[in-house]
Structures are given as structure tokens and as C-alpha cells.
A and B are shown apart, each in its own frame.
Chain A
Amino acid sequence: MNSGIPVQYFLILATVMFFTGIYGFLTRRNLITILMSVELILNSVNINFLAFNRYLYPHKLEGMFFSLFIIAVAASEAAVVIAIIINIYRRFTTINVEDVNEMKF
């Protein structure tokens, strides 16, 4: 099927995507872009699961279903995050993450 492409390629792709997401999480100042970075991270994990499932363990559907549920969880998580972000916007009139630091030390 996809025998031409080794599974490692997928994994490397996912890893790069994963750490790109992490980079975004660490650097973006806007809360919404941070949320986007989280989505990137989750997506990369999905790729991993699917690649493993397809290449190595196609006799079961665990990887696929895991990805499915990750998507579902990500969706609900995103909903709550956005709700909170909106609340933050109401309270702080900004969604710059660096300004949201009333509590520290």
C-alpha cells in the first residue's frame, strides 16, 4: 500500500509538527494562537497513532479510535478554552497571555 514510505517518516513528520506546536505554545502571545498550537500538538499525535495503526498493527483499530476520541476531546476542550478566553477578554480587555498574570511568586 504505502510500502514506499517507511513509518519513521510519518513519525518524524509528527514529531516536527508536535514540537512546532510546542514552540508556538511557548512563544505566541495571543491566547487564541496558543490554542491553535495545542491543536497542532494534538494533530501530530493523531498522525502518530494512525501511522502506527496502519503500518504496524492493522489487525486492531485502537490507533484509529484513539485518534477519533482525541479529536472529540480536542473539540470540547477548544469549546471550553474559547469560552474562558472570551471571559478573559471581558475581564482583562486583552487576550495577551503576558498580561494575564495577576498572580505570581
Chain B
Amino acid sequence: MASIMFILFSAMIIVFSILTVTSRKILRAAVYLLFVLVSTSGLYFMLNYQFLAAVQLTLYAGGIVVLIIFSILLTSHISQKFESSGWKKNIFSAIAAITGAILSIITILDYRFSATNEAAKEVNMRLIGKSLLSVDYDGYVLPFEVISVLLLAAMVAAIVVAKKGAPKTIGLPKINQE
């Protein structure tokens, strides 16, 4: 059962990943990405990380993909088709990617992983909540706090960049426009 599910999910992930990066229609690419993300959350379920799977679905699939689609709508025509990129670029990139992948896989397969002997923790919401607020070893309150600063900063950053203001006067002389 598990292996069937794994095969299913991983096949979906790989296929849709490749489609995402090769599709010539941008909206379709976004949709393929959504499929990848959903399949991934499936894997998370499989690994018993229900919380994370949920986060993946809501934040990633729900948040980011929607954001992406919005921006696509803002910047492109839906049916717009890209001219495919130069074959040289594709070939070289493919070589680089495949080399990297082979290198990594060989190295990974070369390594003998050994599992810990300590007892596994039952991952449930209680544990997650406790760990998230724990200041001790294997506690994550500090990153939790820091990420809040990051989110704040990112919000401000996005606003700063995207804020639309009429270009009133531009103090810089012409020379710098180029």
C-alpha cells in the first residue's frame, strides 16, 4: 500500500515538476506546480507529518500558488505562449542539472545511513506546540520569534517595492537614468 502510494506520489511529483519547468504556457505551469505541491503534501501525510502536510497545503498550495497566479494575471496574458529558450541554454542547463543529479545520487547511494536507536517521538499537535514554545534543547521558540521579524520585514519590504507612487519629480539628473 505504502509503496504504491509512494510510487504514485513520486511519479506525480517528478512528472509535474518537469512539466512545470518545461510548459510553455505560464498558467499551466502554475497549475502543474500546484499539483507538485499537493503531491508533496501527500508524501508528508505518508510520513506521518500531518501538521506539515496541512501547512504545505494551506501555505504553499493555497498561499504561494495563489500569489503566483495573481502576479501572472497582473503581468501576462493567460494564453501567452513563450517562445522556447535557445537550445544551447537548454542543453547546457540539462547537462549541468543531470551531472549534479547523478553526482548527488551516486554519493547518496554510496553512504550507509544508520538510524538512531533512541525512541521515536510521537508527532502530534501537542508535541509540536510544546516544542515550538520550548526554550530548551530541541525547542524552537527562538526561530519562531526570529521568523516573525522576518515576516514583518518581508511585508514591509514587499510594500516598499510594490507601493505605487506617481513618479513626481526625480531628483537624479538624466545621466543616471541610463
**A interface, CB within 8 angstroms of B:** 1-2, 4-5, 7-13, 15-24, 26-30, 32-33, 35-37, 39-40, 43, 46-47, 50-51, 54-62, 64-65, 67-69, 71-80, 82-87, 89, 95
Interface of chain B, main secondary structure: helix
**Chain A, Cβ-Cβ closest to B58:** A71
Contacts A32-B72, A61-B123 supplied; 9 other A-B pairs, CB < 8 Å: A19-B101, A20-B20, A23-B94, A23-B97, A74-B64, A75-B59, A80-B157, A86-B71, A89-B75
Evaluate contact between B113 and A59: CB separation under 8 angstroms.
no
**Contact among B10, B97, B157 for A83, CB-based, below 8 A:** B157
Can you give 5 contacting A-B residue pairs, CB < 8 Å?
Answer: A2-B6, A2-B46, A33-B20, A71-B60, A86-B162
Task: List chain A residues, Cβ under 8 A from B33.
Answer: 36, 39-40
Task: List chain A residues, Cβ under 8 A from B82.
Answer: 29-30
Interface centre among A1, A37, A43, A51 (most CB of B within 10 A): A43
**Contact among B13, B18, B20, B92 for A36, CB-based, below 8 A:** B20
Evaluate contact between B161 and A80: CB separation under 8 angstroms.
yes
Contact flag A26-B93 (CB < 8 Å), given A5-B6, A84-B161: yes
Evaluate contact between B2 and A5: CB separation under 8 angstroms.
yes
Evaluate contact between B68 and A35: CB separation under 8 angstroms.
yes
Evaluate contact between B120 and A13: CB separation under 8 angstroms.
no
**Chain B, Cβ-Cβ closest to A76:** B154
Evaluate contact between A95 and B76: CB separation under 8 angstroms.
yes
- State in angstroms the CA–CA spacing of A74 and B147 once bound together: 11
Chain B residues numbered 100-115 whose CB sits less than 8 Å from any CB in chain A: 100-101, 104-105, 108-109, 113-115
Evaluate contact between B49 and A54: CB separation under 8 angstroms.
yes
- State in angstroms the CA–CA spacing of A69 and B145 once bound together: 11
**Contact among A12, A59, A71 for B121, CB-based, below 8 A:** A59
Task: List chain A residues, Cβ under 8 A from B159.
Answer: 83
- State in angstroms the CA–CA spacing of A84 and B161 once bound together: 6
Task: List chain A residues, Cβ under 8 A from B101.
Answer: 15-16, 18-19
Contact flag A9-B147 (CB < 8 Å), given A24-B21, A28-B85, A43-B37: no
Task: List chain B residues, Cβ under 8 A from A54.
Answer: 47-49
Task: List chain A residues, Cβ under 8 A from B109.
Answer: 8
Evaluate contact between A4 and B3: CB separation under 8 angstroms.
yes
The yes or no answer to B89 lying at the interface (CB within 8 A) is: yes
The yes or no answer to B14 lying at the interface (CB within 8 A) is: yes
Evaluate contact between B161 and A26: CB separation under 8 angstroms.
no
Evaluate contact between A83 and B162: CB separation under 8 angstroms.
yes
Task: List chain B residues, Cβ under 8 A from A83.
Answer: 157-159, 161-162
